[in-house]
């Protein structure tokens, strides 16, 4: 299996009794030691996902793969991108919760439950990603505290939604989605905007110093 970083082929190749996950871990370690971050990977042009298919993809023997492509970036660039992605995700979820509540109200439960699971996963991953960014920052202790407060507001709302779902109380679930969750999402979105601007400023200072 050939290995490419940002489109450039490495001299070494992976063969023998290895799987994609083992090779990916080894290369990621070397990349991190070089002060950079792996942001995406693909096997034979197919993106390695973050959902249920990821385990199967990583378990693929290297003898069945022609090439592993990895995209790497500077940490400061990654931090900005993570926060911008979180902003976009919260913006999208704010648009999705009202139609989702309507789906529960009209009894379209199968599709609605699938969409709810997707929303909860995206919210959780975005908050975790933003938290990791702030933990790496040099002057973001206050911002991290603010993000934790936002998470402390958001997660109880998510817990109430999941509890209503487990109880089959779709009226209460729809009410939470339509009236309560949007208020919390709006507060989180405003905070993330502030954090993204702060991260952009920190990166603009750090990158010239690194150069």
Question: So where are the chain's domains?
Answer: 2-73, 76-210
Q: What pLDDT is recorded for position 143?
A: 64
Q: What pLDDT is recorded for position 128?
A: 77
- For the chain, list residues with pLDDT below 70: 50-52, 75-78, 132-144, 199-211
Q: What pLDDT is recorded for position 194?
A: 80
Termini Cα distance of the chain? 34
**Helix/strand/coil percent split, the chain, to 5:** 70, 15, 15
Contact call for residues 147 and 127 (beta carbons, < 8 A): yes
Structure tokens at 4: 């490419």
Angstrom CA distances, 128 to 31, 82, 124, 163, stand at 22, 10, 6, 22
Angstrom CA distances, 15 to 6, 38, 61, 63, 75, stand at 21, 22, 9, 6, 30
Q: What pLDDT is recorded for position 209?
A: 47
Q: Is the dihedral of CA 38, 40, 41, 44 positive or negative?
A: negative
Q: What pLDDT is recorded for position 102?
A: 96
Q: What pLDDT is recorded for position 50?
A: 67
Contact call for residues 37 and 11 (beta carbons, < 8 A): no
- pLDDT tens per residue, range 6-22: 899 988 888 888 999 99
Q: What pLDDT is recorded for position 210?
A: 45
- Domain 76-210 sits in CATH at 1.20.120
Neighbours of 63 (CB within 10 A): 12
Pick the CATH number of 2-73 from 1.20.950, 1.20.1070, 3.10.20, 3.30.1490: 3.10.20
């Amino acid at each position: 299996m050939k290995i490419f970083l940002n489109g450039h082929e490495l001299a070494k190749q992976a063969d023998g009794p290895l799987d994609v996950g083992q090779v990916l871990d080894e290369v990621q370690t070397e990349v991190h030691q070089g002060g950079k971050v792996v942001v995406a990977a693909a096997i034979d042009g197919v993106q390695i996902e973050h959902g249920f298919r990821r385990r199967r993809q990583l378990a693929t023997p290297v003898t069945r793969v022609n090439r592993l492509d990895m995209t790497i970036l500077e940490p400061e660039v990654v931090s900005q991108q993570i926060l911008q992605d979180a902003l976009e995700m919260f913006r999208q979820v704010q648009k999705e919760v009202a139609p989702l509540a309507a789906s529960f109200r009209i009894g379209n439960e199968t599709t609605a439950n699938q969409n709810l699971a997707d929303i909860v996963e995206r919210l959780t991953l975005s908050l975790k990603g933003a938290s990791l960014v702030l933990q790496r920052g040099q002057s973001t202790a206050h911002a991290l505290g603010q993000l934790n407060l936002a998470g402390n507001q958001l997660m109880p709302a998510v817990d109430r939604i999941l509890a209503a779902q487990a109880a089959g109380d779709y009226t209460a679930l729809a009410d939470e989605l339509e009236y309560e969750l949007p208020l919390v999402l709006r507060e989180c979105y405003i905070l993330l905007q502030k954090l993204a601007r702060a991260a952009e400023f920190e990166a603009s200072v750090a990158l010239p110093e690194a150069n």
